[in-house]
């Protein structure tokens, strides 16, 4: 018996095909893993099923009935429930109020009955054998408790199809075990569970079958018994990386140590991380969501406080308490969310680029326009920013060129150390290799660069060494060269093999952290 049959689903966003003629079917009483790299289309197909996105083409049948209206309410009525990775929680309401929002328990007269909701919420948490206070206000909870609330909200709908999108990123190991026990119970009751995770060890434990997507296309659907972890990774990675393989890494001349972390810890993450970054090298941080990569970057840049350990810059212990301290010490962070943290889209290229150095180019509070123009023109030339003029709004530029403006803004502060958090997110493949070439060039000019990317092929192309992280800890430092098989003549194949190898190391780091996993 099939619970869900999606046939020929296509969906494009502004000309970019997120899903291309994808078939996806889930049986009643099975746990079906949905796998794929970033941009493979997992979230999109789930949002289509859940009614958030309307498909451009294709049909959806749920429990034998065709789904013709594409709204969250219609999908819910058809028996589909999904967690939204914290997107569907209201911080000012309590846990119980959130779980039963729009489906509140009523008294005989039709008024809200919070006490009954709290009781029902407590029952759900008891069933999951986890401790969450139904009366607690969601905004005061930690990430793990929020995630459990999300999960409780999804399962409270007693739906026939339960979609869990990365439900375990913030959960403790013991809570994941309890969730799995519960999912097996649901499965026995005939519920279809769609489970998305990047953790292959989890998939191997819980899923019956898996569907793998890549670049918006269906690759394979098979029982887990036919999909050992390295086969899964092979299907996920596929033959991608075109355009990246020909970026030359060239010879590295490592200079003195620029940045050194000794047992550095943050509030939650990172935990006890040590590494050294040399002049002229690109150091990659690899790991899954929640591994502590971005937290480490934010601690270095002074956005989050360090709670233990020390940070040395050019051999001297520095105390970085706020972003201004980091800038002073020669550290610049190019943040992850370009549109909100990196640029002011409505302002011109010039005013964005000089934003971080306004003090330096101002005399008595008046900005020296000649200096500002010189800096901007230098950056436009050096980074090859394609813009109609320095006075055009940044919003008129392509994603790749917007990213160059952000990088240019921080280069203007003349940092020794540049931290790039997901510098290629949301830009096309051509611009991606251009950004990576730029990163290599900057390192060659004597900067030290820390780069975070979820795209392993990019890390492998850009970096000289890669630090693998999991659960806030550093697991191992891999020399990029050791991942290459010199016997493989084709650069593209060589990159693919290296990507598979790195993926395996990341998964290994996870299972070390979860011994019974």
Partner 1 sequence: MAERIPAFLANWRQNIIYIGFVVIFVIFALTLSDKGFLNPTNLLNIIRQTAMIAVMAVVMTFVLASGEIDLSIGAVAGLTTVTVAMTIAVAGPFAGVMAGVATGIAVGCFNGWLTTRIGIPSFLTTLAMMGIAKGVAMWISDTAAVPILSPGYSWAFGGGSIGPVPVLLFWMLVAGALGHFVLRRTGFGRRVLATGGGETAARYSGIDTANIKFKVLVLSSFAAAIAGMLYAGRLQSGRFQLGEGDELSVIAAAVLGGTSLFGGKGTVVGTIVGALMIGLINNGLILMGLEFSQQLIARGAIIIFAVALSQKRA
Contact footprint for partner 1 (CB under 8 A) = 52, 72-73, 76, 84, 87-93, 97, 101-102, 104, 111-112
Whole-number Cα distances in Å, 419 to 263, 286, 298, 301? 19, 14, 9, 8
Question: Closest distance between partner 1 and the C-beta of residue 41, in Å?
Answer: 20
Q: What is the closest distance, in whole angstroms, from the C-beta atom of residue 149 to partner 1 in the complex?
A: 12
The answer to whether the beta carbons of residues 104 and 116 sit under 8 Å apart is: no
Q: How many CB atoms lie within 10 A of CB 169?
A: 18
The residues, any chain, with a CB within 8 Å of residue 257's CB and separated by 6 or more, are 276, 277, 278, 279, 312, 314, 315
> How far, in Å, CA of 114 to CA of 123, rounded?
14
Q: Which is nearer to partner 1, 73 or 479 (CB)?
A: 73
H or E element, residue 49: helix 42-49
Consecutive H or E run containing 309 = strand 306-313
Min dist. Cβ of residue 11 to partner 1 (A)? 18
- Output the smallest distance, CB 153 to partner 1, in A: 8
Minimum CB distance to partner 1, residue 303 (Å): 15
User: Least distance in Å: CB of 112 to partner 1?
Assistant: 5
In a 10 Å sphere around its CB, with 0-12 CB exposed, 13-18 middle and 19+ buried, how is residue 460 labelled?
buried
Strands 16-27 and 2-13: antiparallel
Considering the complex, state which of residue 154 and residue 478 has its C-beta at the smaller distance from partner 1: 154
Cβ at position 73, least distance to partner 1 in Å: 5
Half-sphere exposure (CA, 13 Å, Cβ side) for 7?
A: 7
- Residue 96 or 311: the one with the smaller Cβ distance to partner 1 is 96
Tell the smallest beta-carbon distance from residue 377 to partner 1 (Å): 38
Q: Least separation, in Å, of the C-beta of 120 and partner 1?
A: 15
Measured from the CB atom, the residue of 20 and 133 that comes closer to partner 1 is: 133
Nearer to partner 1, 77 or 388 (CB): 77
Nearer to partner 1, 57 or 90 (CB): 90
Rounded Cα distance, 151 and 128, in Å: 10
Kindly tell me which of 161 and 200 has the beta carbon lying closer to partner 1: 161
Nearer Cβ to partner 1, position 90 or 143? 90
Q: Is 76 or 262 the residue whose CB approaches partner 1 more closely?
A: 76
Task: Return d(Cα 130, Cα 147) in angstroms, integer.
Answer: 12
Q: Which is nearer to partner 1, 100 or 410 (CB)?
A: 100
Half-sphere exposure of 259 (CA within 13 A, CB side): 30
| Nearest residue (CB) to partner 1, 71 versus 445 | 71
Closest approach of Cβ 110 to partner 1, in Å? 8
DSSP string spanning 59-85?
A: EEEETTEE----SHHHHHHTTEEE--T
Half-sphere exposure of 264 (CA within 13 A, CB side): 30
In angstroms, the CA 398 to CA 385 distance is: 10
What's the min distance (Å) between Cβ of 100 and partner 1?
Answer: 9
SS3 track for 134-193: CCCEHHHCCHHHHHHHHHHHHHCCCCCEEEEECCCCCCCHHHHHHHHHHHHHHHHCCCEE
Identify the three-state secondary structure at position 287: coil
Alpha helices in 323-428 (DSSP H): 323-328, 349-353, 369-383, 399-411
CB proximity list for 263: less than 8 A, separation 6 or greater: 272, 273, 274, 308, 309, 310
């Amino acid at each position: 018996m099939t619970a869900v049959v999606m046939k020929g689903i296509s969906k494009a966003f502004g000309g970019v095909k997120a899903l291309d003629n994808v078939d996806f079917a889930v049986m009643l009483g099975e746990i079906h893993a949905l796998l794929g790299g970033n941009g493979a289309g997992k979230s999109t197909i789930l949002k289509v099923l859940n009614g958030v996105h309307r498909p451009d083409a294709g049909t959806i049948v749920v429990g034998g009935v065709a789904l013709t209206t594409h709204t969250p309410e219609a999908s819910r009525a058809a028996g589909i429930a999904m967690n939204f990775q914290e997107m569907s929680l209201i911080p000012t309401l309590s846990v119980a109020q959130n779980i039963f929002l729009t489906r509140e328990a009523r008294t005989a007269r039709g008024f809200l009955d919070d006490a009954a909701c709290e009781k029902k919420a407590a029952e759900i948490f008891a069933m999951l054998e986890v401790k969450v206070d139904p009366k607690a206000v969601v905004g005061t909870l930690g990430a793990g408790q929020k995630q459990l609330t999300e999960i409780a909200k999804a399962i409270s709908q007693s739906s026939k199809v339960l979609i869990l999108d990365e439900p375990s990123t913030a959960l403790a190991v013991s809570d994941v075990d309890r969730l799995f026990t519960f999912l097996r119970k649901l499965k026995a009751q005939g519920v279809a569970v769609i489970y998305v995770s990047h953790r292959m060890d989890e998939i191997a434990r819980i899923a019956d079958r898996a569907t793998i997507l890549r670049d918006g296309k269906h690759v394979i659907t098979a029982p887990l018994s036919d999909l050992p972890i390295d086969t899964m990774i092979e299907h996920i990675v596929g033959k991608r990386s075109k355009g990246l393989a020909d970026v030359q890494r060239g010879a590295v001349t490592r200079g003195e140590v620029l940045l050194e972390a000794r047992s550095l810890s943050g509030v939650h993450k990172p935990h006890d991380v040590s590494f050294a970054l040399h002049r002229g090298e690109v150091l990659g941080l690899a790991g899954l969501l929640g591994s502590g990569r971005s937290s480490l970057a934010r601690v270095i840049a002074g956005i989050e406080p360090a709670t233990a350990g020390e940070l040395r810059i050019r051999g001297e212990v520095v105390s970085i308490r706020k972003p201004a301290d980091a800038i002073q010490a020669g550290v610049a962070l190019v943040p992850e969310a370009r549109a909100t943290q990196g640029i002011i889209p409505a302002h011109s290229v010039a005013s964005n680029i000089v934003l971080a150095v306004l003090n330096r180019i101002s005399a008595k509070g008046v900005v020296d326009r000649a200096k500002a123009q010189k800096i901007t023109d230098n950056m436009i030339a050096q980074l090859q920013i394609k813009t109609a003029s320095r006075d055009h709004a940044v919003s008129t530029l392509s994603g790749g060129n917007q990213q160059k403006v952000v990088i240019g803004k921080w280069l203007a502060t003349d940092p020794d150390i540049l931290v790039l958090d997901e510098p290629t997110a949301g830009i096309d493949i051509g611009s991606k290799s251009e950004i990576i070439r730029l990163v290599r060039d900057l390192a060659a000019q004597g900067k030290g660069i820390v780069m975070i990317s979820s795209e392993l092929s990019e890390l492998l192309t850009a970096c000289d060494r890669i630090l693998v992280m999991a659960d806030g800890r550093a697991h191992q430092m891999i020399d990029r060269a050791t991942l290459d098989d010199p016997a493989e003549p084709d650069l593209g194949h060589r990159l693919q093999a290296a990507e598979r190898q790195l993926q395996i190391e990341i998964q290994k780091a996870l299972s070390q952290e979860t011994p019974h996993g």
